[in-house]
A and B are shown apart, each in its own frame.
Chain A
Amino acid sequence: MTRSHWMVHLVGGLTLWCLWFVLLYGGLGIMCSVASPPLAAGQWTWINGVLLILTLAFTVLLVTLARWCWYRQETEPSELQVYVRLSSALYGMSAFAVLAVGLPVGVLPPCA
């Protein structure tokens, strides 16, 4: 693997987090403007469902990447190990951030 490859991983997790955040917030806005379910429906609407699936998909992806990086530690030259470990931690934290920020999807109604 090249060195710049690890630079990509260093920012990869949080870039994915940002992307997910844009999809989450933008998607909510667009879905609410297209077909807004009534408030009485509470949090069990199709919009929450879509956002929940999106959140879980990103969490799984980020956890997978974190694990992948973690197991790459041994195979990389020693001067790069620090970036590998940092990348793994950052993927893990991004997964946590996705899950934590996405949590209210199961609690709050979407468009009010």
Chain B
Amino acid sequence: MSADQLTARMHAIWANLPGWGQLAAVNHTSIGKRFMVTGAVFFVIGGVLAMLLRTQLALPMQTIIDADAYNQLFTMHGTVMMFLFAIPILEGLALYMIPKLIGARDLVFPRISSLGYYSYLFGGIILMSSLFLGVAPDSGWFMYTPLSSAEFSPGPGSDFWLLGITFVEISAMAAGVELTVSILKSRAPGMTLTKMPIFCWYILAMALMIVFGFPPLILASILLELERAVGMPFFAVAGGGDPILWQHLFWLFGHPEVYIIFLPAAAVISTVIPVFAGRPIIGYRWLVLAIILTAFISFGLWVHHMFTVGIPQLAQAFFSIASMMVAIPTAIQVFVWVATLWHGRVTYNLPMLWVFGFLMVFVCGGLTGVMLALVPFNWQVHDTHFVVAHLHYVLIGGMLYPLIAGIYYWLPHFSGRMPSLRMGLWGFWLTFIGMNATFLLMHLTGLLGMPRRIFTYSGDMGWSWLNLLSSVGGFVMAFGLGLVILDIILHFRFGEKAKPNPWQADTLEWATGTPPTPYNFASIPDIDTRHPLWEKPELMTSIPAGEHRLATIEHGRREILGTSAITGKLQAIYHLPTNSYLPLLAALSLAVVCIGLLIRVYPMALVGLLVAAFFLFRWSWENGSHPAMAPPTPDEDPSLPLHSRTTDGPGRWGMIVTLMADGALYLALIFGWLYLWTVSPEWQMPGESLLSVPVLLVSGVLVTVATLLFHRLTAALNQGQAHGLQMKLWLVTFVGFVHLALLITALVQAPLAITESAHDAVLFFVVIYLLFHSLLVTVVTALQALRVKYGYVSARYPYEPNVVRPLWSYTLGIYWCSVATFIFLPMVWGA
């Protein structure tokens, strides 16, 4: 086949459907771009909100915006910027870049990318609609209870926040899981972990941080929504709950989240600097060390948002020192960058200008961050404009500047056109000057005692001139950012055409074409260097010419290479799903669930849930050797099998990473339980177990039996023995259902007063959590039995039971762990 024929055929297989068919797109380039464009729209909305806030604060005692509106505006500004702009746009960048950097044609779970995008879009729209309906959440983006609870926020505002954000978080979790698995399992052959571009290390860390960091907030949101809707008193003192639990769970997410935002931004910096310094980054391994340190230590800092809560000073000191220590990995990175510039020869252009701006602003924000970590100082400036200034320095400096640097750097990649220098310069300087005018003096405003989140102030406090200056600066900055956005939009039409690899970069994404083809690489090269395009410039032509691996397309499958996690050794071919409407349909049904819960029409939510479950199970059905996925073909190469013909593959890894996230949520739940038990002022522990212990034990024995049976049948299947497979699977399903029925019996019989006692409410929630998992794994096992019947699972296709296997282990694990922690521990310890 000639190169042209190859290209044409590749296009036919990999392109999105035309017209409305674009809605079915699953391609990571399309989804990544959609994330980024949507994120930019939300950025503009969040920016307009900020300008309204600054208008109101420009002069003392203004009445342009009243307190109610102001509270909605600042809540939405924070929420939009964090959840609808910063995280999604960086996820979008990561989704767009990662396969191109590691030599893959797509992410390993393309339909998940699409589901993530629609969850983000619909969740964002639902949240924004509250603003236009005039009932936006108004308890702050941190939603502290009891202010956000039903008693003090009776309107639907808090519900919009809790449900909308949880919906949006599906997209973050989706990105977290699929980025982790893609980076670990689908790199070009020969690309060991330490041969990956440094960008991938950052994104790997970010993805894993999402996996562990987001679940506490998802749990907290579910609990608070249950408190608001049903009256389960998780955070209400009177029922034995504690409002501080919310703060712990929120910041347990909230602080890692800052680094979830910073790491991809630092990834951009670490990518751009070596290219423009004309030399490899100095200290790659130091960066890896710093990334791993940051990813872990950022989980030990959350209480520094809570220094004024009244926690013992000793405990505060632990968090204070841990917070300061995070300066070490950050400083390592800064000095690695300095060293790279020092030992290189710098070419000046627009991305480098933003990188320089990043450095000044971010270092300043980092220094005030270390100051804030000092407990006595924090007591003074916490919740003042000093903190507002600090966080904007960190987030604008540490996220927005690198993002814009990255956008300018990759513009030729997105559009095939170069950015223009003139307008870009104006945009930078106006933004830079405006930003510092707004926030530098705001440190002083805070030191002079201006608290956060006040909608106005009297003129005799000494804050007036500072606020006026900040407001003027804010508008200058807004103007500058407007120019940047305009510049980027105009460049799509007026930009000069870009040459291939216009910046002489070293990484593979520039070999995918400018703009990239939907399949990225017509053939996938072996990579044994961190700088493929510097060391083998011929890749620019040999890849499109089909001179490397996987250059056959006659089978009509979307295929990428599967490699081992550490050494990048070639293991299998991963076949990927093609365009599909299922993610859209599933997300739409979930939106119905969300709206049903919001307007408290629960039958509607239930119907939505069932429809969503139907679409999701249909989705799982179109897998493996199903005709819509990878039906058997005569020319399969047994030495490099398709993954659904093996016992390992991306789905199994995806399952394991998802269960890690699930486990993080479960651990947060156990933390909540132990926290309420030991700390909550009105907590009541009943003298004996409210759930019938014998029933629980029998149910536990059954889930153990089911799990063991399932493990044995998969082990046999992996040995090639599929005799009686269907019957065995039906047997496991049956045992699973009996286990489920017993657990439901235990729950129904228990005298739980879920609206009066936090203890009973937590117990109820735990049992529901167990029921959900047991039901899911049982239904999935039943589907496996059906798939055996249809011939999609057999000795030749042993893959799927291996995917389900960890889910059984997890279900078993949480069952006994829950019985031990929530039933036996209180019995042993005594009430």
Q: CB distance B674 to A26 under 8 Å?
A: yes
> In the complex the two chains form, what is the Cα distance from A34 to B196 in whole Å?
50
Q: Mark B793-815, 1 if CB is under 8 A from A, else 0.
A: 00000000000000000000000
Known pairs A29-B315, A79-B192, A82-B285; A17 contacts B296 (CB<8 A): yes
B296 (CB) vs chain A CBs: closest residue: A14
Known pairs A29-B678, A93-B293; A86 contacts B317 (CB<8 A): no
Q: Does B313 contact A (CB under 8 A)?
A: yes
Main secondary structure of the interface of A (DSSP, over half): helix
Q: CB distance B567 to A86 under 8 Å?
A: no
* Chain A residues whose CB sits within 8 angstroms of the CB of B678 once the complex forms: 29-30, 33
> In the complex the two chains form, what is the Cα distance from A101 to B373 in whole Å?
13
* Chain B residues whose CB sits within 8 angstroms of the CB of A53 once the complex forms: none
Q: CB distance A100 to B325 under 8 Å?
A: yes
* Chain B residues whose CB sits within 8 angstroms of the CB of A57 once the complex forms: none
Q: CB distance A108 to B321 under 8 Å?
A: no
Q: CB distance B313 to A112 under 8 Å?
A: yes
B324 (CB) vs chain A CBs: closest residue: A100
A32 (CB) vs chain B CBs: closest residue: B312
Expressed in whole angstroms, the minimum distance between the Cβ of B797 and any Cβ of chain A is 26
> In the complex the two chains form, what is the Cα distance from A7 to B192 in whole Å?
13
Determine which of A7, A28, A90 lies in contact with B314 in the assembled complex, contact meaning CB atoms within 8 Å: A28
* Chain A residues whose CB sits within 8 angstroms of the CB of B292 once the complex forms: 10-11, 14, 86, 90
Q: Mark B672-688, 1 if CB is under 8 A from A, else 0.
A: 00110011000000000
Q: Does B566 contact A (CB under 8 A)?
A: yes
* Chain A residues whose CB sits within 8 angstroms of the CB of B312 once the complex forms: 28, 32, 109-112
Q: Does B742 contact A (CB under 8 A)?
A: no
> In the complex the two chains form, what is the Cα distance from A53 to B807 in whole Å?
39
Q: Does A63 contact B (CB under 8 A)?
A: no
* CB-contacts of B518-539 with A (<8 A): none
Q: Does B288 contact A (CB under 8 A)?
A: yes
Determine which of B289, B299, B318, B567 lies in contact with A101 in the assembled complex, contact meaning CB atoms within 8 Å: B318
* CB-contacts of B315-338 with A (<8 A): 315, 317-318, 321-322, 325
Q: CB distance A97 to B322 under 8 Å?
A: yes
A4 (CB) vs chain B CBs: closest residue: B566
* Chain B residues whose CB sits within 8 angstroms of the CB of A82 once the complex forms: 194, 285
A26 (CB) vs chain B CBs: closest residue: B674
Q: Does B780 contact A (CB under 8 A)?
A: no
Q: Does B515 contact A (CB under 8 A)?
A: no
Expressed in whole angstroms, the minimum distance between the Cβ of A111 and any Cβ of chain B is 5
Known pairs A89-B289, A104-B314; A3 contacts B296 (CB<8 A): no
Q: Does B454 contact A (CB under 8 A)?
A: no
Determine which of B193, B315, B321, B565 lies in contact with A103 in the assembled complex, contact meaning CB atoms within 8 Å: B321
* Chain A residues whose CB sits within 8 angstroms of the CB of B313 once the complex forms: 108-109, 112
Q: Does A65 contact B (CB under 8 A)?
A: no
* Chain B residues whose CB sits within 8 angstroms of the CB of A93 once the complex forms: 289, 293
* Chain B residues whose CB sits within 8 angstroms of the CB of A48 once the complex forms: 314
A112 (CB) vs chain B CBs: closest residue: B312
> In the complex the two chains form, what is the Cα distance from A1 to B6 in whole Å?
44
Q: Does A18 contact B (CB under 8 A)?
A: yes
A100 (CB) vs chain B CBs: closest residue: B321
Q: Does A66 contact B (CB under 8 A)?
A: no
* Chain B residues whose CB sits within 8 angstroms of the CB of A109 once the complex forms: 312-314
Q: CB distance B296 to A25 under 8 Å?
A: no
> In the complex the two chains form, what is the Cα distance from A32 to B315 in whole Å?
11
Q: Does A69 contact B (CB under 8 A)?
A: no
Q: Does B339 contact A (CB under 8 A)?
A: no
Q: Mark A76-112, 1 if CB is under 8 A from B, else 0.
A: 0001001101100110010001001111110111111
Q: Does A21 contact B (CB under 8 A)?
A: yes
> In the complex the two chains form, what is the Cα distance from A110 to B313 in whole Å?
7
Known pairs A29-B679, A101-B322; A108 contacts B293 (CB<8 A): no
* CB-contacts of A7-41 with B (<8 A): 7, 10-11, 14-15, 17-18, 21, 24-26, 28-30, 32-33
Q: Does B297 contact A (CB under 8 A)?
A: yes
* Chain A residues whose CB sits within 8 angstroms of the CB of B565 once the complex forms: 4, 7
> In the complex the two chains form, what is the Cα distance from A4 to B596 in whole Å?
46
> In the complex the two chains form, what is the Cα distance from A102 to B321 in whole Å?
9
* Chain B residues whose CB sits within 8 angstroms of the CB of A7 once the complex forms: 565-566
On A, residues with C-beta under 8 Å from B are 3-4, 6-7, 10-11, 14-15, 17-18, 21, 24-26, 28-30, 32-33, 48, 79, 82-83, 85-86, 89-90, 93, 97, 100-105, 107-112
Q: A104-B318, A109-B313 are in contact. List 9 more A-B contacts (CB 8 A).
A: A18-B296, A18-B299, A21-B322, A29-B679, A48-B314, A97-B322, A101-B318, A109-B312, A112-B312
What are 9 A-B contacts defined by CB distance under 8 Å?
A18-B299, A26-B674, A28-B314, A29-B679, A83-B194, A86-B292, A90-B289, A97-B297, A112-B313
On B, residues with C-beta under 8 Å from A are 192-194, 285, 288-289, 292-293, 296-297, 299-300, 303, 312-315, 317-318, 321-322, 325, 565-567, 674-675, 678-679
